[in-house]
Structure 1
Amino acid sequence: MRTRQDLRPRVQKETDPWAISIPPVSIANRVHEEEHMLLWQVRGYTDLLIDGEPLRLLSGQAVWIPAGAWHSLVVGANSVLLPLEFPVNIIATTLSQVTVFNVDRDLGTPLLAFLQSQASIICAEVNLARQILALIEQSPIVANTLPLPQHPQARRVAALLIANPGDDRTVAQLAATMHVSGRTLERAFLAETGMTLGQWRLQNRMECAAELFKSIDNIAAVAARVGYMNVSAFGRVFKSHFLLTPGEYIERYARGY
C-alpha cells in the first residue's frame, strides 16, 4: 500500500545534458497521398527536403506538408519531431502549400490533445482537427459577407465562428466563454444582424462550404469541416440554402457558371 509520503512530489534531480543520447534519424523520400502531414519540432532541429526544396525546422516551429508532396528528412541528434496526420477524406482545409509556422501555447495545447487522442484512449469529445486548422490557416475560409454584430462579445463570437465554422459549442457554451448570458448574445445577433445566432451560424457554415467547394470536391470532408458528420443532412441544408446539391454546385462552379 502506498503511504501519504509516497504521494509527495519527488524532487527533480538535475540532469546532465550529456546523459541524453538520441542519435539522428533519417527518413527516406516518401509521399502521403491520403493524408496531410503536420510535423512539430518540439526540441532541436530537423532538415527536410520537400518537393526538392530544403527546409530547416527549428524548435518551436511546425510545418504543414499537403498530401501529395514528396519529402525526406533528417531529425538532428537529441531532437524530437512529432508527426500528426490529417486524412484528406475526413476534413477539408485551405492549406494547399507547404507552410511553416510557430507553435505557441494556444496552438500547442490542441496539438498535444490531438496526439494524445491518436496514441491513447484519452480522447476529448470534440473535433480537434477543426480547431487546429482554424489556428494555422493564414486567413479564414471566406472573406465573410454576413453582417457582423457590434456588441463586443457577440462580435468575438462571430469571429470565432468565421475562423472555425464547424465549432459545435452551444449558445450557452459560447456565452459562458465570453462571460455573458446566452440571452444577451441572442439579443445582440438579432438586433444587429437581423438573424438569431443559430441562423447566422448556419448561413456562415453554408458560405464557408461553398468557398471550400471552389478548390475541394470531397463533399464529406467539406461537410465535416463546417460541422456536419452526416453528409446527407449537410446536403439537405446546402440545397435549401443554394437551391443546388453540393455535387451540382461543384459542377457548376467548375464550369464557371
Structure 2
Amino acid sequence: METIGQFLSPTRQAEILPFETAPRPVVGFARNYPAGLSTGMHSHPRAQLLYAISGVMRVDTGGSNYLVPPTTGLFLPADAEHAISMDGPVAMRALFMREDAASRVARAAKVIAVSGLLREVILAACAEPVDWEPGGRGHHLSELALDEIGRASPLPLGLPLPRDARLRRVVSALLARPDDTRNLEDWATVANASSRTLARMFRAETGMSFRQWRQQVRLTAALSALATGATPARAAAIAGFDSVPAFGAAFRAQFGLTPGQARQLHPGMHG
C-alpha cells in the first residue's frame, strides 16, 4: 500500500500486505473501524470491492466523492488513489482482486448494488485463508463473487468533484454543510468569480448544473444520516427540504428506495 500525505501506521500496512500480495485471484479482507477514522489518500496494487456490513464509508478519489452505505459496494481499480472516512463505526468486509480477476468485472470505479447472495459470498470469502486451496471452496466463492460483481447494477452514488480551485472552495463548503441555503450569486463572492462563470464551470467540470449538484450532495448526506439512524424528518432537514413527503419523493427518485428503507440499513433499526 502506498500512502500520500497522511501516514498510515506500519501495523496497518503490515496487516494489509498479505491481501495485496496473495497468490489467489480473490481474497476477503475483514476489519472493524471506529467512527471518524480517516485513512488519508493511499492506493493499493490490487483492485478492491469496498463493502461494509454496517456503517457508512465516504470515499474520496480526488475526482469523485462516493458514499458507500450497507447494501452497496465500491469497486476501485488497482493503484487508484483514495481516502476513506467512516461515518459511524464501520464493519468492513472487502475483496482484493488480482489483475486478471478485476479485468473480468470493471475497468473504472463504480458503486454497485450488493445482492443478498453477493453479501453472503463476501462474508464467506472473508472466512477463507488468503492462500485458500485451489479448486476448493475458496475457488468457487471467488468465481461466484466475480460473476455477481460483474452483473451488479451501478448506482448513482458517485459525486463528481471539480478541479478548478474556485469551484473547490464552493464544493468543500457544501460538502461540509449540505443544508447551506446560499444561492449561486452568494457563492460567486466566495469563489471570487461571477455567477455566470460559476454556472458555466460547474456544468463543464461536473456535467451537472449547480442546482443538480447541490441536490445530489444534499440527498447523499441525507442517505448517510438515515443509514446511521437519523429520522426521515431530520434527513429531510439535512437535505434542505421543508416537506418530508417532497423529500421522500426526491430521495426515492435518486436512490430507488424510500427514506424508511434507507433507515433500515442502520444496524440498530429493526422491523
* Greater radius of gyration (CA): 1
**TM-score relative to the length of structure 1:** 0.42
**TM-score relative to the length of structure 2:** 0.40
